[in-house]
Structure 1
Amino acid sequence: MRKVNIANYLPNIVKEIAEFQHISNTENAEINLMWDSIQNIFDDQFVNTATVNGIKRWEKILKIVPKANHTLEDRAFTILTRLNEQLPYTYKVLKQLLSQLCGSDGYVLNINHDQYELSILVELKSKNMVNAISDLTKKIVPVNMNISIKIRYNQYSYLRNLRHMELQPFTNDQLRNEVLI
């Protein structure tokens, strides 16, 4: 953030006068507050840098009702999902959208053309975004395809390299349902 000191713009003759120093300090607080507000207005134009007020505005524009347990990041993800709903809808576009939303390693996409089935496994770190992904796929995937969206929970193959001492502080539920470092 930019910090302004109005005293730097005063002539040298008046810089040393106490009244002008007090006026400068008072104005500095107001001007810095104004600069911060201007920066927030600029940041709110872009979903990735939006403040809480910017996210609320985007949600109002797109008619999105946020869930109580969603973080600011989850809400921004939902907004980005809604903004990315554009034609044409191809396999390549779907992969790009999922990569933008979940990261390139945040999902596994499989299509069974013979059975008209689309399955998406979402990594555990993105489990709060499953509903947004579901809404996106319902809008862009052809109606004749069955859509299956599941969370990829922690599995034995991931945990087998860890020692019992490392796993002991966790419950079984935590080992399955939480992102482990």
Structure 2
Amino acid sequence: MDRKIDLIQYLPPFMRQYLPLKLVTGAENKIFQDALSELKKIDNNEFIQTADSNGLKRFESMMGIISYHEESLDTRRNRILAKWNDELPYTINALKKKLDIVCGEHQYEIQCKFSEYQMEIVTHLKNYGQIDEFYNIVDYMIPCNILLSIINTLTNEIDMSLYVGGVVSVKSKIHMKVR
């Protein structure tokens, strides 16, 4: 909720009518409004979920994450959250929690065949940086003795009309011989 600064309301009612005081408080309203906006930005940058680009850059620096120029804020935020919420020991449930953050809840399928030391993960990643973060998570969470198969499938939906027409033309020649 944004607060509207109106300093003239803090003056006694009989002083509010004087033009010099109206002009001074009107000019100061802008300064105080800008200061309040900056305080709101600082407050938002304290938390990963509400941080802007500068706030995310600070979190990335703290955790040693390298961001790519083309990444969206949501992708950067998810990468930070994945590392922030890192927990030991690495279990299948911990892996699923991480993949929920990076891929989206239940936007992947995991098939485990631990008796055969195999695991298959099917994802649907399409944003820049998501695949790199996915590989980072899989690289340090899955033991080296597990044969891992990763499949990333993408689907495209096109919203358009398609008109199909057809014509059938029959032409026949009749040959007649006159006798």
TM-score bracket relative to the smaller structure: 0.7 to 0.9
Query: What is aligned with 1:2?
Result: 3
Q: For structure 2, which runs of at least 5 residues remain unmatched after alignment? A: 164-179
Which whole-Å CA distance do the structure 2 matches of 1:113 and 1:121 have between them? 17
Query: What is aligned with 1:169?
Result: none
Relative distance call for 1:149 and 1:36 in structure 2 (3 A) is farther
Root-mean-square deviation (CA), in Å? 2.4
Task: State how many pairs are aligned.
Answer: 162
Query: What is aligned with 1:102?
Result: 103
Q: Does structure 2 conserve the Cα–Cα contact (< 8 Å) formed by 1:47 and 1:80? A: yes
Query: What is aligned with 2:57?
Result: 56
1:60-85 per-position Cα deviation (integer Å, ceiling 9, x unaligned): 11121211211111111111121122
Is 1:25 aligned to residue 26 of structure 2? yes
Query: What is aligned with 1:176?
Result: none
**TM-score normalised by L of structure 1:** 0.78
| Equivalences for residues 59-78 of structure 1 within 5 A | 59-78=60-79
Which whole-Å CA distance do the structure 2 matches of 1:53 and 1:33 have between them? 18
How far is 1:13 from its partner? 1.6
Higher helix share: 1
Identical residues among aligned pairs (%): 25
Structure number, greater radius of gyration: 2
Q: Does structure 1 conserve the Cα–Cα contact (< 8 Å) formed by 2:70 and 2:128? A: no
How far is 1:149 from its partner? 3.1
Query: What is aligned with 1:137?
Result: 138
Query: What is aligned with 1:83?
Result: 84
Which whole-Å CA distance do the structure 1 matches of 2:46 and 2:151 have between them? 33
Relative distance call for 1:146 and 1:85 in structure 2 (3 A) is farther
Relative distance call for 1:26 and 1:164 in structure 2 (3 A) is closer
How far is 1:118 from its partner? 2.5
Which whole-Å CA distance do the structure 2 matches of 1:32 and 1:40 have between them? 13
Which whole-Å CA distance do the structure 2 matches of 1:131 and 1:150 have between them? 14
Is 1:37 aligned to residue 34 of structure 2? no
Local SS of the residue matching 1:153: coil
Please tell me the residue identity of whatever aligns with 1:34. A
Deviates more, 1:118-127 or 1:104-113: 118-127
Relative distance call for 1:75 and 1:163 in structure 2 (3 A) is closer
Q: Does structure 1 conserve the Cα–Cα contact (< 8 Å) formed by 2:121 and 2:149? A: yes
